[in-house]
Amino acid sequence: MSHQPDQGVFHAIRPEDIEWKSFPAYPPAVRIAILVGDLALPAPYLIRVHLPAGTKMMPHKHPEDRIYTVMEGVFYIGLGEQFDAQTLTAYGPGSVVVLPGGQAHFHWARSGDYITQVSAMGPLGLNYLDADDDPRTQPR
């Protein structure tokens, strides 16, 4: 039997074992934890994303369909190609948000830190609508 990356043997990931790192496509304060999979492969992956209070993710798209589960805090997300705080919708812990690939959207840690868990089929892609918003093009 063939298994997906990180799924060939039984294992568990405890909260204290999660390793948080910066990620080039995200603002410098954002942290990501890769829980299962390889983000560069065309295979399933599971990550957690932590946005500190006040952090904004400007309008962007992902080519892959994504399923977000809110783990902690309140996840504010808006749809569209322009950041508009009036269109943000708040989702509390336990909420599940289905985001189709190609849907322009933006996030804001408006009321404090939040952590979402993202499940998708890789490779992970992130394309900012305005190149000036892309941290990969900014000095760190």
pLDDT in tens, 90-135: 999 999 999 999 999 999 999 999 999 999 999 999 999 999 999 9
CATH topology of domain 18-133: Jelly Rolls (2.60.120)
φ, ψ at 103 (rounded to 5°): -80, 120
119 exposed, middle or buried (CB, 10 Å; 0-12, 13-18, 19+)? Answer: middle
Identify the sign of the CA torsion 107, 33, 52, 94: positive
Dihedral, CA of residue 11, residue 16, residue 21 and residue 27, to nearest 10: 120
| Spatial separation of the C-alpha atoms in residues 58 and 132, rounded to whole Å | 10
Per-residue pLDDT tens digits for 45-72: 999 999 999 999 999 999 999 999 999 9
Residue 97's pLDDT is 98
Q: What element of type H or E holds 13?
A: none
User: Does residue 140 register a pLDDT over 70?
Assistant: no
Task: Report the DSSP beta bridge partners of residue 68.
Answer: 97, 118
Residue 79's pLDDT is 98
| Spatial separation of the C-alpha atoms in residues 17 and 19, rounded to whole Å | 6
- Structure pTM? 0.94
Give residue 138's pLDDT band: very low, low, confident or very high (50, 70, 90). confident
Q: What is the mean pLDDT of residues 25-39?
A: 96
